[in-house]
Structure 1
Amino acid sequence: MHNPFSLLTQPRFRPFFWTQGLGAFNDNVFKTALITQVAFNTASLTTLDGGTLVTLLPGLFILPFFLFSASAGQLADKYEKSQIIRLVKLLEVGIMLLAGAGFLLHNLVMLALALFLMGLHSTVFGPVKYSYLPQHLQPHELTAGNGLVEMGSFVSILLGQVLGAWLGSLPQHEFVTSLSILLIAVSGFHISRSIPLSPAPVPEMKINWNPISETVNNVRIFWAQQTLWVGIVAISWFWFFGATLLAQFPNLAKDGLHGSERDFIALLSIFSVGVGIGSVWCEKLSKGKQELGLVMLGAVGMSVFAWDFAATAGNIQQQFLAHPGWTLQAISQLDYWRMLLDVALLGVSGGLYIVPLYVLLQSRVEPRYQSRVIAANNIMNALFMVVSAGFSLMLFGYGLTIPQLFAATAGLNLLVAAYLCWRQPEYLSSSVAYVKRWFAAD
C-alpha cells in the first residue's frame, strides 16, 4: 500500500475510522468544556474549591479503565464487534443527554456522573478499537491502519479540546454545549451503523466479572510471552511520557513563556499534528511491513527533541528573569521558533515510536486473546498516566522547573529505551538493521 489514505475510501475501514474519531472528539469537547466551567465559573456549579475539582475530575474519567477494562476485553472477544460499537455509541447518546441536563441545570453531580460514564464508554470501546483492525486489514495494511487511527485520535483530541474550551468560555454556554455534544454523539451512532460485521473469536467464553482475578489472568497470558509484556510496557511508557509533557503545556505557556492561551494551543496543536504525521509516515518508512526498527529511532528522537525543547524553553525563561517586564515578542524569535520545531519533531518521533508497537500487539497475539491483552494494555496505560502525575509532583517538590522536568523525562526515556532493548534485543537489532538498509538504499 503506497497511499495509506486509500483506506479511508473503503467500507471496511472508513465508518470505523470516523466513528472512533468522533468518540475521541466528543470525549474531549465534554471534558474540556466541563473543566473550563469548573476553573472559571466554579460558583455556578458548587461551593467546593475549583482548583481541587480541576485536579480530581480527570481522575473520574480514568477510573473506569481500572475497574472495567478486564470485563471490556472479555466482551470484545465473546461478542460480535460491530454490535458492541453500536451499543457503545448508543450509550454515548444517553450520556450526552445526561451531561446536557447537567449543564442546563448547573448540576455538578450529573456532570461528574456523565464524565465517569464517558470513561466507561472509552474503556469498553478501547479493546474493540484495536482488535477490529486485524480482522479487516491485511497484515501489510496494519501499519497504515494503525497510523491513520493514531492520527485521527490525536487530531480529534486536539480539535475537541479547542472546541470544548471555546464552548466553556461562552457567556451562555449551557444550551450550545449541550446541543453540540449531543449532535456529535448522534453522528457517531449514525456512522457506526455502517461498520461491517466482525465475528467473535471466542463466542463460547464464559465471562469472569471479577476485575481483579480477570486482570491477573490477563497478566499471566502476556507475561508468558515476554515479547507482549515488553511491548505493553513500551506503549504504556509512551503515555507516561506524553502525559508528563502535555500536562505542563498550559503552565509553561502562561508562567514559563509569559504567553497566552494562543501559545498553549500552538504547543498542543503542533505536538498533535506531529504525532499524526509520524503515525502516517510509518507506512512509508516500513513499506507495509511490521517494522520494530522504527521504535528505537522514535525513542531516540523523543529524547533528543524533548531535551532541546527543555533547553530552549529554559533559555527563554532565563531571559524573562534577566529582563523583567519583557513580553514573549521581545524574546529572540529564533528561540521561539526553535522551540516550536522541537515540539513538532517530538510529536513525529512519538508517532514513529507508538504505531509499530500497536502493530506488534495485533500481529503477535493469538486472535482468541487479542481483545483481553489490549484491555490489559489499557489498564497499564492508565496506571502509567497516573504515575506520571506523581512523578511530576515529586520533581516539583525537589524544586525543579518545568523545563528541567522535561529534561529529566528525556533522560529517563533513554533509560527506558535501554531497558526495552535489554529485555527484548529485537528492538535494537531491528533498528540497526533498518539503519543499515537505509544507508544501503542510498
Structure 2
Amino acid sequence: MSSQFELLTTRRFLPFFLTQALGAFNDNIFKNSLMLLMAFTAASNLPMSTDILMNLAAGLFILPFFLFSASAGELADNMEKSRIIRWVKLAEILLMSFAAIAFYYELYMVLLGLLFLMGTQSAFFGPVKYAILPSLVNEEELIGANALVEMGTFVAILLGTIGAGLLMGLEQTLFAVSCVLVGTSIAGYLSARKVPAVPMENEAKPYKWQPVRQTKQAMRICFEQRPIYLSILAISWFWFLGAGYLTQFPNFAKNSLGGDSSVVTVLLCAFTIGVAVGSMLCERLSGHKIELGIVPIGSIGLTVFGIDLYFATPANVGDQILAAGAFFEQAYAWRVLIDLSLIGIFGGFFIVPLYALLQQRAKPQERARVISANNIFNALFMVGSAFSGIVLLGVMELSIPEYFLVLAVFNAVVAVYVYSQMPEFVLRFVIWMLGHSMYRVTHEDLNNIPDEGAALIVCNHVSYVDAMLLAGACRRPIRFVMDEGIFKNPALGWLFKLAKTIPICAKAKNEETFENAFKQIKAELDDGNVVCIFPEGKLTRSGDINPFKKGVERILEETPVPVVPMAIQGLWGSFFSHHGSGIFKSGKRFWSKVKIVASEPVAATSANAEMLQDKVQQLRGEYQ
C-alpha cells in the first residue's frame, strides 16, 4: 500500500479503528466530566474531600487493569475476537445508560462505581484491541495500522479531555454529558458490528474465571521470550514518562509558566498532537516494515527535548495569570511548546514499533495474553509514575521543571539498559542510519525471499557494509557468512558480532574456522532461518564480480534449500569499497545511490557456483 491512510478506506480496518477511537473518547469524556464536576460543581455535596475523591477516581479506573487484564487476555486467545469486541461495546452501552441516570440524579458515589466498571470494560477491550490487528492487516501494513491506532487513541484522549471541559460550560451540563456518553457508546457498538470475524488461533474451550492463575500464566509467557519482555518494559516506561508529563501539566502551566486552564489545554494539545504525528511518521521512516532502528531515535529525542524543556522554562513568571492568547506572546512559550511537541513526536517513534514488535513476535495463540501482560506492566508503571511524582515533588521538593529533567535523564538510563540487553535495537539503529544517511537504498523483487522457512541468499561482495545494507532492505532477519578478516575489522567488527555473523576463512588458513562456519550455516538453515553468503570469498578490488567458490555447493549438498540470487548495484566507488588505494582516497563517494535486486528462488538440485554467478552477474548488469 502506498499510504497507511488507505487502510481507513478498507472494510477490514475502518470499523475497528472507529470502534477503538470511540471507546477511548468515551472513556475520557466520562472520566474527565466526573472529575470536573466533583472539583467545581459538586464539591459541597460530596461525603469526603475532593482531593481524596479525585485520587480515588484515578485509582478506580486503573485498578481493573491489574485485576482483569490477564483474564481478558486468556478469553481473547480462546474466543473469536470480533465477537468479544461486540460484547464489550454492548457492556459499554449498558454502563453509559446507568451513568446517564446517575449524572441526572447527581449520584456521584454511584458514578465512581461505574468508573471502576468502565475501567473493567477497557481492561477487557485492551488485549483484543492489539491481538486482532495482525489478523485484520498483512505484515507490511502492521506498522501503519499500529500508527493509526496510536494516533486515533491519543487524538480521542485529547478530544475527550477538551470535550469534557466544553460540556461543563453548557447550561444543561448533566443532560449534555449523558447524551454524549450514551450516543458515543451506541456509535461504538454499531461500528463494532462491522468488524470482520477473524480465524481463531486456538481451539475454543470453556472459559474459567481464575484471575490469579491467568495472571501468573500471562507473566510466564511474557518472561519466556526476552525480546517480548524487554519490549514490554520499554512500552511501560513510555507510559511512566507520559503519565509523568500529563499529570503535572496543570501545575506546570500555573506555577512555572504563569498560565490558566486554557494554557493547560494548549500544553496537552502540543504533547498529544506530537504523539499522533510521530506515530503517523513511523510508517514512512520504517518503509512499511517493523523497523526497530527508529526506537533508539525515539529515546534519544525524548531525552534531548526533555532536557531542553527544563532550560526552556522561565526561572520566574509574573503574578498575572495568562490566558492562552497572552501566553503565546511570551518569549518562552514557543520553545516550551516545540519541546513538548517534539517529546510527543519522538514518543511516537518510540512506541509504535514496539507495539508492532509484540504483535509480530508473540505466538498467535498467545498474543492476547502477551498484550494483557503488557497492560498489567503499563498500569504498574503509571502507578509508579504517580508515586515518583509524590516523592520527587512532595518529599524532595523538586520544582516541576526539575522533575521533567529527572525524567529525561532516567529515560536515557532505561534506554541504555534495554539496548544493552537487546542489541538488536542498536544493530537496527546503525543499519537504519546508514540507509538514510550515506546510502540511498532502493530495492526490487525482494518478495522473492520466502516469508517462511530456510533459504540461502547469494550476492556479490562490493564493500564492508554490504551485509548491513542487505539486512536493512530485507524483512526477515538474515545470518551473514563473512570473511574472517572483515568480521574482525576494528571499526565494524563489534557490529558484525551483534548481528550474529558467521566468520569464515580459507581452509588452508584455519581449518577449524572453516569447518565451524559450515556447521553454523547448517544449524541456521535447519532452524528455518535465512543465511546469506558472498560466494566470491572476498571484496572485489576492481568492481567486477570475482569467481564464485564451491563452498555454496557444499552448503546445498548438506542442506538442500531454495537459493535466492541477489545483486547490489551502485556501491563500487563508495566510501567503504576498495576503489582507489585507501579508505580516504580522493574520488571515493561519500553519498551513494544503491539498488538491491533479487531474482526468483532456484532449487537446490539445479544450483551450482557457476550458474549462480551468472544469475548474480545478470542482476547486477553493467551498473557496478
TM above 0.5, yes or no, is yes
Structure 2 residue 399 is matched with structure 1 residue 405: no
How far the C-alpha of 1:121 sits from its partner, in A, is: 1.0
Alignment partners' CA distance in 2, 1:115 and 1:353: 30
What displacement does 1:179 show?
Answer: 1.1
Alignment of 1:69-148 (within 5 A): 69-148=69-148
Find the aligned partners of 2:203 and 2:71 in 1 and give their Cα distance.
15
- The CA distance in 2 between the partners of 1:330 and 1:376, in whole Å, is 42
Q: 1:114 to 1:330 in 2, by over 3 A?
A: closer
CA contact (8 A) 2:260 2:321 kept: no
**Cα distance in 2 between the residues matched to 1:429 and 1:47:** 57
Letter aligned with residue 352 of structure 1: F
For the pair 1:250 / 2:250, whether they are aligned, the reply is yes
In 1, distance between residues paired with 2:49 and 2:262? 26
Select the structure that is richer in strand: 2
Is contact 2:327-2:333 (8 Å) kept? no
Q: How does 1:94-243 map to 2 (within 5 A)?
A: 94-205=94-205, 207-243=207-243
Match of 1:364 in 2: 361
Matched-pair contact (CA < 8 Å) for 2:43–2:49: no
Question: What is the match of residue 268 of structure 2?
Answer: 268
Instruction: Give distance in 1, aligned partners of 2:55 and 2:204.
Output: 42
Higher RCO (CA-CA < 8 Å; seq separation 6+) = 1
Q: What corresponds to 2:53 in structure 1?
A: 53
Q: CA deviation at 1:325?
A: 5.1
1:291 and 2:291 correspond: yes
Partners of 2:258 and 2:320 within 8 A in 1: no
Alignment of 1:427-438 (within 5 A): 427-438=425-436
Amino acid at match of 1:429: L
Q: 2:370 aligns with which of 354, 373, 377?
A: 373
Give 1:382's aligned residue.
379
**How many aligned positions are there?**
437
2:411 pairs with 1:416: no
Change (3 A) 1:254 1:169: farther
Q: Aligned equivalents of 1:327 and 1:78: distance in 2?
A: 54
Q: Secondary structure at the match of 1:247?
A: helix
* Counterpart Cα distance in 2 of 1:247 and 1:378: 19
Instruction: Output the CA distance in 2 between the equivalents of 1:380 and 1:26.
Output: 24
Task: Report the TM-score when normalising by structure 1.
Answer: 0.96
Whole-angstrom CA distance in 1 between matches of 2:10 and 2:60: 37
Q: Hey, what's the Cα distance between the residues in 2 that align with 1:388 and 1:74?
A: 28
Show CA shifts across 1:377-436 (max 9, x none).
000000000000001111011110000000000000000000101111111111111111
Q: Give yes or no for contact 1:45–1:106 (8 Å, CA) kept in 2.
A: no
Distance 1:163 1:11 in 2: 29
2:335 is matched with which residue: 332, 335, 338? Answer: 338
3-state DSSP class of the match of 1:291? coil
Which range moved further: 49-58 or 162-171? 162-171
Q: Is the 8 A contact 1:45 1:107 kept in 2?
A: no
Greater percentage in helix: 1
Distance in 2 (CA, whole Å) between partners of 1:296 and 1:12 is: 32
Q: Do 2:243 and 2:385's aligned partners in 1 also have CA atoms closer than 8 Å?
A: yes
Note closer, same or farther for the CA distance 1:90–1:356 as it changes in structure 2 (3 Å cut): same
CA distance in structure 2 between the aligned counterparts of 1:102 and 1:330, rounded to whole angstroms: 38
Aligned to 1:22: 22
CA offset digits 1:40-72 (Å, max 9, x no partner): 123464131012111110110101101111110
Tell whether the 8 Å contact from 1:236 to 1:377 is kept in structure 2 after alignment: yes
Distance across 2 between alignment mates of 1:7 and 1:330: 39
Whole-Å separation in 1 of the counterparts to 2:103 and 2:138: 45
Structure 2 distance, partners of 1:183, 1:35, is 20
CA distance in structure 2 between the aligned counterparts of 1:250 and 1:391, rounded to whole angstroms: 17
Please show how residues 28-67 of structure 1 align to structure 2 within 5 Å: 28-43=28-43, 45-67=45-67
Offset of 1:209 from its aligned partner?
2.4
Equivalent residue letter for 2:220 = R
Q: For the residues of structure 2 that align with 1:26 and 1:45, how far apart are their CA atoms? A: 25
Decide whether aligned partners of structure 1 residues 386 and 64 sit closer, same or farther in structure 2, where only a CA change above 3 A counts.
same
User: Quick one: structure 1 residues 79 and 44, their matched pair in 2 at CA, closer, same or farther if it must change by over 3 Å?
Assistant: farther
Tell me the distance in 1 between the aligned counterparts of 2:336 and 2:177: 34
Amino acid at match of 1:390: F
CA–CA distance in structure 2, aligned partners of residues 326 and 208 of structure 1: 56
Whether the 8 Å contact between 1:140 and 1:288 is mirrored in structure 2 is yes
Relative to 1, partners in 2 of residues 1:389 and 1:105: Cα closer, same or farther, differing over 3 Å? same
1:326 offset after TM fit, Å?
A: 8.2
Determine which structure has more spread, i.e. the larger CA radius of gyration. 2
**What CA distance in whole angstroms lies between the structure 2 residues aligned with 1:110 and 1:332?**
44
Query: Partners of 2:224 and 2:366 in 1: how far apart?
Result: 13
Q: 1:119 to 1:336 in 2, by over 3 A?
A: same
Residue 77 of structure 1 deviates from its aligned partner by 0.8
Cα gap change, 1:327/1:146 in structure 2, threshold over 3 Å: closer, same or farther? closer
Q: Aligned partners of 1:330, 1:424: CA distance in 2, in Å?
A: 44
Alpha carbons of structure 1 residues 324 and 38: separation in structure 2 relative to 1, 3 Å: closer
Q: Does the CA-based 8 Å contact 1:71-1:207 persist in structure 2?
A: no
| Cα distance between partner residues in 2 of 1:45 and 1:14 | 43
2:501 paired residue number: none
Whether contact under 8 Å (2:232, 2:377) holds in the other structure is yes
The one-letter amino acid of 2:417's match is: Y
Q: What secondary structure is seen at the aligned counterpart in 1 of 2:259?
A: coil
Q: Give the 4+ runs in structure 1 shifted more than 6 A.
A: none
Secondary structure class of the residue paired with 2:289? coil
Q: Who is 2:282 aligned against?
A: 282
Structure 1 portions without partners, runs of 5+? none
Q: How far apart are the structure 2 equivalents of 1:434 and 1:79?
A: 39
* 1:171 CA drift (Å): 4.6
Cα distance in 2, alignment partners of residues 337 and 431 from structure 1:
31
Question: C-alpha deviations, 1:77-111, integer Å up to 9, x for none?
Answer: 11111111111111000100111111111112220
Deviations 1:264-307 (A, max 9, x none): 11110111111111101100000111100111100010111111
Q: What TM-score comes out, normalization by structure 2 length?
A: 0.68
Q: 77-86 or 20-29, which moves further after superposition?
A: 77-86
**Structure 2 counterpart of 1:99, which letter?**
A
Residues 309, 339 of structure 2: 8 Å contact kept: yes
